Amino acid sequence: MFDRKNLMKLLALTMLVSLLASACVATPPQAAAPAGEQPAAAQPAAGGEQITLRWANIIDATGQEQWKAVVDAFQAKYPNIRVVSESTAGSGAAIYPDVLKTSIASGSPPDLFFMWGGSIAQPFIDAGQVMDLGPYYDKFGWHGKFAPWVVERIKSDGKLYGVPYHALGMGFWYNKTLWNEKGWSVPTTFAEQEELCAKMKEAGMYCVSIGGKFGWHTMRVLDYFLEHHCGPELHDKLNRLEERWDHPCVIDSYATFQKWIDNGWVVPDFLTVSPDDSRFPFFAGEAGLVLEGVWYEGVLKNNEQNIADYDFYLPPTDHTPLRFSAFPEQWMIPSGAAHPDEAALFIDFITSPEVQTQFPINDFANSATIGVNPDCNEWPLTCKWREIILSAEDTYPPTDQAFVKELMDGFFEVQDAIVAKRMTPEEGAALMQRRVEEWQAR
Amino acid sequence: MENTMTTQANRDSSASAGQRHKIASMKAEQRFTNTMLYILLSAMAVVWLMPFVIIVLTSVRSMGDLISNGVFAWPREIVLSNFERAWNIGNFSTYFRNSLLLIIFKVPLGIIIASLAAFPLAKMQFRFNNAIFIFFLIGLAIPIHVTLTPLLVMMKQLGIQGTLAALIPPYVVFGLPFQIFVMRGFFRTVPSELLEAARIDGATEWGNFWRILMPLSAPALATLFIIDALATWNELLIALVLISSNDWRTVPVGLLQFQGQFSSQYTQLMAGVLISITPIITLYVFLQRYMVAGLTAGALKE
Amino acid sequence: MSTITDELLPNRPMRRRKRIRLTPYLFLAPALIWYLIFLVYPMYQSLVISFMRWDGLSADIQFIGVENYRRIFFEDDTARLALRNNVLWTLGTLLIPTTIGLMLAVALDRKLRGRTVLRAIFYGPAVLPLVAVGMIWAWMYNPQFGFINYVLKSIGLGFLARGWLSVYETALPATFLTAVWGGVGFPMVLYLAALQAIPQEQYEAAKMDGANSRQLFWNITLPWLREANVIVFSLAVINSFKTFDLIYTMTYGGPGRSTQVLGTWMYFHAFQYYNAGYGAAIAWVIAAITLVMAIPYIQRMSRD
C-alpha cells in the first residue's frame, strides 16, 4: 500500500506548497488587495473608508519619479485615498492599449486610465466601457478649463468621455546652430521646403530622418504631404472617409513621397528602424530635420543636447490657416471602475492649474489646461509651442487617430509599399481606396 | 559516480600494449581535432557574445556620448551612474524579489509535477497513456495570447489577481506540456530492466521514481531547471497582463519603464538589463555543475 | 509493464492488480488537474470565442459558426502570406539551429578546456530579455551605423550592405538569423543532456574494436539521441508556428506586411484590431497545423 499512500502525501504536499506559495506572495507588507468593491460614498473626501485608486498610465521610470510628489500631495489632501500607479511604458507605448483592454475585458478595470484621442479611444466608447463624464464636468466645473480644440477633439457624438490631459502639436525640429553655419533659413512655402532639402542633399546631408517601424512616424510625413496637396477641407474629408482615397491629391502626395526618397532627401532604408533610433542621424548632423512633437524638448534634454542649439517650425503647407498635426491625450474612467467618484476627484486634482503650476514636472509642460505655463527659461521651446497650440485656429489629427487600427494598418501597408517603390502612387491610392471600401462594407 | 571512475581506471590499466599504441595515435588525432574545434568555437563565441559587449558598452556611457558617437563606438568616458540611476528609479529591488520568489516557488513545483506525470507516460502501460500524452501536447501548440483574458478572469475569481501568486498557476501550466514531453523522452531512455529488477526486489513505483528515475535523469532535470528558470525570469507577456500593480511587477516588465512613449533611455535601459541578468547568469553557472558527464553512467551499468 | 509484472508474480494477492492500474493516474493527477483548470479551460474558452464575432470588449457577442475560419483560408491574403512565412521559418529552424545545436553539443561534450564557458556563451542569448534583444539587433542591422554593414564594408563586401530589416526581401531572413543566434542554445542543452545519458563503456568498447569517431557518432551517439531528436524536431515545428516575440520586437510585421507570421497576425487581430474571435480562430489554426504535423511524427518515433 506504500505507493498510494505516498502519492496521496505528495498530492497533499503539492497542494500545500502551492497554497503556501500563494499565501506567501499574496499577503505582502503593502497588501495589494483592493479596499472594497462597494460603490464609493457621495462625498468621497469625507468618507472614512480607506480606498485604493487604480491609475493606469504610460509614465516611464523618470516620469514616475517626478509624479510621486503630485500623488503624495493628493494623498495628503485626501488621506483616505491611496493612489496606485499601474504603468505600462515601453517603446511607443505599443502594448499599453493591449494590457488595458485585457484588464477591462476581464472585468477588472482600473479606476481611471490614460488614453490618446480619436479613433484609438473610440472602441472603448463604442463598447460602452467608459463613463460619460458630462456630470463630472458639471460637478467640478471643467467647462472652460481646457483648450477648446482639445475638448472638441475628444468629444464623441457630442458627449465627453474623457478629460483633456495633453495638447500636443508636431512640427519640424532642426539644429539652429548648424543651419546658421550653413546659411539655411526656415522655409515658408512648400517649394522653399523642397529647395531646402535639395540644399541639404548638396551639403552631403539627408533632409529628414524617419523611423518607420510602427508606421506612425512615416505617417507624419505623409500627413504633411496630404495637407499640402489636398488642403485642409479635403484632408479632413479624407480622414472622415467622406472623400475617395484614390483622389488625385492622394496620388500627388504619394508621388511627392517617392520623389523625396528618390532625391535622397530621406535617410534611406528606414522602414523598420524604430522611431527612437531615427534620432541618431539627426543628432549626428547627418539629417537636417525630424518631424516631432512638442515633447521633443524633453527628448533633447534626456539626450544631453544643448537646447539653445535647437528650434522648430510648422511645416509650410501653402494653405491658410497654416494647420499642423496635433492630438490630445486624455483621462478616462471605465464604466466598471470601483471608485469613479474618487477617480474624478483625482483627475480634477491633477488637471487643475494650481497643482500643475505648483509641480512643474515634464508631463505638465504640454498640459491641455488653460493657464498653465511652463518655465520659459527652462523650457523655451515648449513655451513657444504652448502659445501656438493654445491659440491654434485649426489643426489636423494624425491619421492614426482618425482611422481605426485595422484600417490604419492597411494605410501603413500602402505607405510602406510606396516608400519601397513596390507600388506606383496610382496603385497605392487605388489599394488604399479598396481597403477603405472593404472596411466600410463591414 | 565513484563506481564509474574505478571501473574505467581498471579498464585503462588492463589495456594491452597494442591497444595502448592505438589509443596513443587516437589521442594525437584527438588533439588536432580539439585545436580545430577551439578555433571554430572561439570564432562563433565572439559572434555570440557581440550583443553582450554592446550591452556593456552602452551601459557605461552617457546618453549624449551614445547619441553623437554611435552605438558601436568606444565610450568617450566610462560613466557608472547609469547603474545607480537604473537601480534607484527602476525599483529593481522590488522586481528582483518578485522574480526570485517566482523562480523559487514555480520552477521546482512545475518540474516535479511534470516528472510525476512523465513517469507513467514513459514507463507504464495503461489504457489512456497515448491519449493523455497527446492531450498534453495540445497545450504545447496553443499560443498563450488567446488564453490571457480567460486566465485573468480566473485569477480574479480566485482572488489572487494582481498579485504575484496569480503568475504561479499559468507559469506552471505553460511549462507543463514541454516539461512532460522532455521528461517522458528522458525516462524512456532509462532501461526498463532497472525498474523491473527493482520491482522484483519489492520496490514500489513511488520508490522507483525517486530512487531510480529521478537520480538517473539529473542532467535532464538540471537542463529543464535552467531552461525553465530562464524562461520564468524573462517572461513578459503574462506578467504584463496579469500583474497591474508596480509592487508585484517582475524584472522584464520593469525594464519596459526605461522606454517612454517618445524616447528611450538606452544607457539606463542597458544598465538595467545588465543588472537584471546578473542573478540569472549566476544561477546558470551554478547549475552547470549538475550537467557534467558521467553522473548517470555508473548507475546504468549495474 | 506493471500489469505484466503482476501476472508474472501469481503469489501476490489479486486486488493488487486493480491498485496498479490506478497508479499511473495517481502520478498523473497533479499535472492533469493543474492542466485542466489553468490551461484546458482557457483553451476551451478561446475555442468557443473563435466561432464568435466579438470585439473583445463589449457584451455584444455573436455566434457566426465557422465564418472566422472560412475568412482565414479563403479571404485573408495576409494570413496566407503569414502561413508561407511560417513554413519557411519552420524549414529553416528544422535545418539550421537544430544542426548547429547538435554539432555544438557533440563538440562541447568532449573534454575540452573551457567547455563550461562555451556552453554558457551559446546558451547565453536565453538570459537576455526580449527588449534588449530587439534593440541590439536593430542596431546590428541599422542601415546607417549597423555593425553588420560595417563589417561587410570593411572586408570589401560593401556592395552587400543594405538596410537588412527594411528591405522586403531580406527582412525575414535577417530576423531569422537573429533567431538562429538565439535558438542554437536550446537544442544544444537538450542534446547535451541526452549525451550525458549515453553509457561511456559503449564508446570504450567500440573504440577497442577499432571504430573511428565517425562510426562512433553514427552507430552509438545518434541512436541514443533518438528521444532527444523527437523532442527537438517536434518543438522546432511547434515553436516555429507559434513564433511571435522576435518578429514583434524586430520588425513589427513590417516592412509592409512582409514579415507577418500567424502568431503576430493573431496578436494584431486579437489585441489591436478588436477582432477577438478572429484572433482566437487564427490561434486554433496554428495549433491544428502544428499538431497535425507533430503528433504523427512523435507517435511514430515513440514506437519501440
Q: Is the dihedral of CA A279, A280, A283, A286 positive or negative?
A: negative
HSE, side-chain direction, 13 A CA sphere, residue A2: 9
- Report the C-alpha gap between A343 and A131 in whole angstroms: 11
Give the range of the structural domain holding residue C129, as residue numbers without chain letter.
50-302
Percentage of chain B surpassing pLDDT 90? 31
pLDDT score for C158 = 85
B30 vs chain A: nearest CA distance in angstroms? Answer: 47
DSSP 8-state secondary structure symbol assigned to residue A310: E
- Per-residue pLDDT reduced to its tens digit, A281-331: 999 999 999 999 999 998 898 888 999 999 999 999 999 899 999 999 999
Q: Is residue C263 part of a domain?
A: yes
Same domain, C224 and C183: yes
Nearest-by-Cβ selection for A99 from B161, B241, B247: B241
Residues of C in contact with B293 (CB under 8 A): 109, 195-196, 200
* Contact at CB, A2 and B204, closer than 8 angstroms: yes
Same domain, C129 and C260: yes
Same domain, C6 and C59: no
pLDDT score for A91 = 66
Nearest-by-Cβ selection for A107 from B64, B68, B153: B153
**Lowest-confidence range among A14-28, A276-290, B62-76, C55-69?**
A14-28
pLDDT score for B24 = 72
ipTM value, please give it: 0.84
Q: Name the grid cell of B212.
A: 531510480
Residue of chain B with shortest Cα separation from C100: B44
Burial class of residue A262 in the structure, from the number of CB atoms within 10 Å of its CB (0-12 exposed, 13-18 middle, 19+ buried): exposed
Q: Which residues 36-65 on chain C approach chain A with CB closer than 8 angstroms?
A: 55-60
Helix (H, G, I), strand (E, B) or coil at C299: helix
Same domain, C29 and C173: no
Is the preceding peptide bond at A321 cis, omega within 30 degrees of 0? yes
- Report the C-alpha gap between A316 and B211 in whole angstroms: 80
Q: Which residues 202-261 on chain C approach chain A with CB closer than 8 angstroms?
A: 250-252, 254-257
- Report the C-alpha gap between A274 and A297 in whole angstroms: 19
Check residue C250 and give left, alpha or beta (phi > 0: left; psi -120 to 50: alpha): alpha
Task: Output phi, psi for C42, to 5 deg.
Answer: -60, -35
pLDDT score for B29 = 76
- Per-residue pLDDT reduced to its tens digit, C217-251: 899 899 989 888 998 999 999 999 999 999 999 99
Q: Which residues pair with A116 in a beta bridge?
A: A329
Show Cβ contacts of residue B168 under 8 Å, excluding neighbours closer than 6 positions: A18, A21, A22, A25, B102, B105, B106, B109
* Contact at CB, A127 and C55, closer than 8 angstroms: yes
Give CA torsion, residues A334, A338, A342, A347, to 10 deg: -20
Look at residue A78 and tell me whether its pLDDT is greater than 60: yes
Q: Is the dihedral of CA B217, B219, B221, B227 positive or negative?
A: negative
How many distinct helices (H) and strands (E) make up chain B? 16, 0
A320 vs chain C: nearest CA distance in angstroms? Answer: 34
- Report the C-alpha gap between C110 and C120 in whole angstroms: 15
Same domain, C16 and C119: no
Q: Is residue C179 part of a domain?
A: yes
- Report the C-alpha gap between A410 and B107 in whole angstroms: 43
Same domain, C18 and C123: no
Would you list the DSSP string of B247-301? GG--HHHHHHTTB-SS-B-HHHHHHHHHHHHHHHHHHHHHHHGGG-TTTTHHHHH
Same domain, C207 and C264: yes
Average pLDDT (C293-302) is 85
Domain A51-167+328-379 listed as CATH 3.40.190.10: yes
Residue of chain B with shortest Cα separation from C198: B297
- What is the count of structural domains for chain C? 2
Look at residue C7 and tell me whether its pLDDT is greater than 60: no
* Cβ atoms of residues B221 and C196 within 8 Å: no
* Cβ atoms of residues C38 and B170 within 8 Å: yes
Same domain, C93 and C5: no
Look at residue A40 and tell me whether its pLDDT is greater than 70: no
- Report the C-alpha gap between A399 and A217 in whole angstroms: 11
Q: Name the grid cell of C1.
A: 509493464
Q: Is residue C111 part of a domain?
A: yes
pLDDT score for B227 = 87
Give CA torsion, residues A380, A386, A392, A398, to 10 deg: 100
Same domain, C273 and C157: yes
pLDDT score for B22 = 65
* Contact at CB, B285 and C120, closer than 8 angstroms: yes
- Report the C-alpha gap between B188 and B192 in whole angstroms: 8
Show Cβ contacts of residue C301 under 8 Å, excluding neighbours closer than 6 positions: C226, C229, C230
* Cβ atoms of residues A368 and A294 within 8 Å: no
Structural domains of chain B sorted by starting position, each given as residue range(s) with its CATH number in brackets: 2-69 (no CATH), 90-257 (1.10.3720.10)
Look at residue B226 and tell me whether its pLDDT is greater than 80: yes
- Per-residue pLDDT reduced to its tens digit, C258-283: 999 999 999 999 888 889 999 999 99
* Contact at CB, A101 and C168, closer than 8 angstroms: no
Helices (H), A263-329: 279-283, 296-302
Residue B265 sits at the chain A interface (C-beta within 8 Å): yes
pLDDT score for A18 = 45
Would you list the DSSP string of B103-115? HHHHHHHHHHHHH
* Cβ atoms of residues C6 and C17 within 8 Å: yes
Would you list the DSSP string of A369-422? BTT----TTT-HHHHHHHHHHHH-S--B--GGGTS-HHHHHHHHHHHHHHHTTS
- Report the C-alpha gap between B142 and C50 in whole angstroms: 13
Residue of chain C with shortest Cα separation from B209: C27
A345 vs chain C: nearest CA distance in angstroms? Answer: 26
B245 vs chain C: nearest CA distance in angstroms? Answer: 20
pLDDT score for B23 = 67
Look at residue C88 and tell me whether its pLDDT is greater than 70: yes
Identify the CA nearest to A391 among candidates A100, A210, A167, A145.
A167
Q: Name the residue with cell 548632423.
A: A285
- Report the C-alpha gap between A26 and C82 in whole angstroms: 41
pLDDT score for B120 = 95
Largest CA distance in chain C: 82
CA distances, C263 to each of B137, C79, C159, C283 (Å): 18, 10, 34, 7
Q: Which helix (H) or strand (E) holds C150?
A: helix C147-154
Show Cβ contacts of residue C196 under 8 Å, excluding neighbours closer than 6 positions: B219, B291, B292, B293, B294, B295, B296, C109
Show Cβ contacts of residue C139 under 8 Å, excluding neighbours closer than 6 positions: A277, B54, B71, B72, C145, C146, C147
Query: Fold match between A51-167+328-379 and A169-326+394-441?
Result: yes
Confidence band of C13 (pLDDT split at 50, 70, 90): very low
Average pLDDT (B42-70) is 91
* Cβ atoms of residues A90 and B259 within 8 Å: yes
Task: Output phi, psi for A264, to 5 deg.
Answer: 75, 30
Look at residue A32 and tell me whether its pLDDT is greater than 80: no
- Report the C-alpha gap between A299 and A305 in whole angstroms: 9
Helices (H), B124-217: 129-141, 148-158, 168-189, 192-200, 205-208, 214-216
Average pLDDT (A89-115) is 85
Same domain, C105 and C145: yes
- Report the C-alpha gap between C19 and C12 in whole angstroms: 12
Average pLDDT (A135-144) is 94
Residue of chain B with shortest Cα separation from C24: B120
CA B165 to chain centre: 21
Look at residue A130 and tell me whether its pLDDT is greater than 80: yes
Q: For A169-326+394-441, give the CATH class.
A: alpha beta
Give CA torsion, residues B77, B78, B81, B83, to 10 deg: 140
Average pLDDT of chain A is 87
Q: Is the dihedral of CA B11, B16, B22, B25 positive or negative?
A: positive
Would you list the DSSP string of A213-263? TTSHHHHHHHHHHHHHHHHHHHHHHHHTT-S-TT-HHHHHHHHHHHHHHHT
Look at residue B3 and tell me whether its pLDDT is greater than 60: no
What is the domain-level CATH number for residue C92?
A: 1.10.3720.10
Look at residue A264 and tell me whether its pLDDT is greater than 50: yes
Angle between helices A2-26 and B92-123 (to 10 degrees): 160
Same domain, C31 and C155: no
Confidence band of A102 (pLDDT split at 50, 70, 90): confident
Look at residue C296 and tell me whether its pLDDT is greater than 60: yes
- Higher-confidence position of B205 and A5: B205
CA A182 to chain centre: 34
- Report the C-alpha gap between A65 and A222 in whole angstroms: 36
Domain map of chain A by residue range?
Answer: 51-167+328-379, 169-326+394-441
Determine the residue type at B48.
Answer: W
- Angle (nearest 5°) at CA C235 between C234 and C237: 65
Burial class of residue B26 in the structure, from the number of CB atoms within 10 Å of its CB (0-12 exposed, 13-18 middle, 19+ buried): middle
* Contact at CB, C254 and A271, closer than 8 angstroms: yes
pLDDT score for C299 = 84
Residue A17 sits at the chain C interface (C-beta within 8 Å): no
Residue B18 sits at the chain A interface (C-beta within 8 Å): no
Same domain, C166 and C95: yes
Helix (H, G, I), strand (E, B) or coil at A292: strand
Residues of C in contact with A19 (CB under 8 A): none
Average pLDDT (A113-141) is 93
CA A34 to chain centre: 29
Q: Name the residue with cell 534626456.
A: A302
Q: Which residues pair with B259 in a beta bridge?
A: B264
CA distances, B59 to each of A40, B62, B91 (Å): 47, 8, 17
